[in-house]
Structure 1
């Protein structure tokens, strides 16, 4: 299976999880969704756990790419991994916060289910935590670090909006979402300095 077929398999696996949940993920369900053979899937994903871990990496990678896209205007070279993609100086914490807030919107059910599933899977949790470590504001080390506290509050607000959109059956009007995103970004006072 060429890389494009591997990606097609992962996209199909994402659709299976989106529609039927993580427990429905099997070689048979992914092969049927992607129009591939079970043998083709086994070549790249010898076990269901390998397929599931690759799916975590794929979905987390899509999310991280959204964050890179958010800073593309500030950072011309997006070929290197992580937020220090300029190759010279790392992004500011404020720029990472803006990218995190903007890229954390419009989740789908598969993303929610996979992040929940990762809680009980150490390898999958490491995949998601790697993205969080590179982009999300960490828990402040001191309540006196007001900028770090503000960034963390912005992260919590973005996570709350993401969760709301993940579980709500009512789509949010794009203008309302944009207004909320701007308000969350404004929580990070270092962005205004």
Structure 2
């Protein structure tokens, strides 16, 4: 089974048992700390403190483990885009993002490892596409609710968020992420107000 097939077969309403969730969290930590090429049943088992047979039992293939780990990481990350989903309140956008990255840096590092590996391994690209699509579709819905729509704007805002998160986990920027996010919210609010004004003038 390919990675793409594993991703396609994952349930859209995912439920993780306690033991399964612990294995997914362990897989994310392994990739975040050691890179994707070190993701093995044995490495995950050692990280989780279980036998590697248990990892095999739950996931069957490395591809299935990786696909589920991605979904698990998205379930933990995507809600960080807004603390009031669907409200249209720009002031609610990205407010918990900095704390999310601080509390779960391995989750973000895991996703970046997938992205980098996809440059070397084309079979990884469907997972990376799924990763970006999940963020972009949620972000586009939030922007649309605020009266700001369009693929180009969604791409631009997501690129800014993606870069800020990457710089935060790598600790390479002296400007606090929260300050940059506040500037981004102000830009979006200005765009929204101008759009409303323009619409009113018509």
TM-score of the superposed pair, with normalisation by structure 2: 0.64
- Name the count of aligned residue pairs: 163
Deviation per residue, 1:148-186 (Å, 9 max, x gap): 566654333222212222333x5757xx32222101111
- In structure 2, do the counterparts of structure 1 residues 171 and 10 end up closer, same or farther at CA, with 3 Å as the change threshold? farther
Confirm or deny: 8 A CA contact 2:30 2:39 kept in the other structure.
Answer: yes
* Consecutive unaligned residues in structure 1, runs of 5 or more: 72-82, 84-89, 139-144
Partner secondary structure for residue 50 of structure 2:
coil
Residue 110 of structure 1 and its aligned partner are, at CA, apart by 2.1
The reply on whether 1:124 has 2:127 as its aligned counterpart is yes
> By percentage of residues, which structure has more helix?
2
Per the TM alignment, residue 24 of structure 1 is displaced from its structure 2 partner at its CA by 0.4
Q: TM-score, normalised by structure 1?
A: 0.67
CA gap 1:172/1:10 in 2 versus in 1, 3 angstroms: farther
- TM-superposition CA deviations, 1:36-92 (whole Å, max 9, x none): 122211122111111111111111111023336x22xxxxxxxxxxx5xxxxxx543
- Of the candidates 89, 92, 101, which is equivalent to residue 88 of structure 2? 92
Pick one of 53, 70, 77 that aligns with 1:63: 77
Provide the aligned C-alpha RMSD in A. Answer: 3.4
Per-residue CA shift, 1:5-50, capped at 9, x if unaligned? 1000011111111211111000000001101122211122111111
Q: List gaps (5 residues or longer) in structure 2.
A: 1-15, 142-146, 197-202
Question: Which 10-residue stretch deviates more, 23-32 or 125-134?
Answer: 125-134
